[in-house]
Amino acid sequence: MKIDVDQLEQALKTLVEELRKKKGKIINIEQPIDYYWSVPGDVLYNPYENPKVLTLGQLSDDFRRDE
């Protein structure tokens, strides 16, 4: 499989433009609903094995900015 990086860039730009139109320049997450399951890399792309260990991640921990 090959991906044209220029096409990917244009798709991402389009998504960001739409997000900016609908939500503005700053996205405010009022409730801590930014948790997600993290699957270890060795089983992440293995559809034949269920992950035995999951960890919990939080977007606000991953994307920290000085306010």
Q: State pTM to two decimals.
A: 0.52
Mean pLDDT of 25-49: 84
pLDDT for position 32: 66
List pLDDT tens digits, range 38-66.
Answer: 998 888 898 898 889 899 988 878 876 54
Cα–Cα distance between 27 and 29 in angstroms, integer? 6
Diameter of the chain by CA atoms? 43
Q: For strand 55-58 and strand 35-38, is the pairing parallel, antiparallel, or unpaired?
A: antiparallel
| Average pLDDT for the chain | 87
pLDDT for position 65: 53
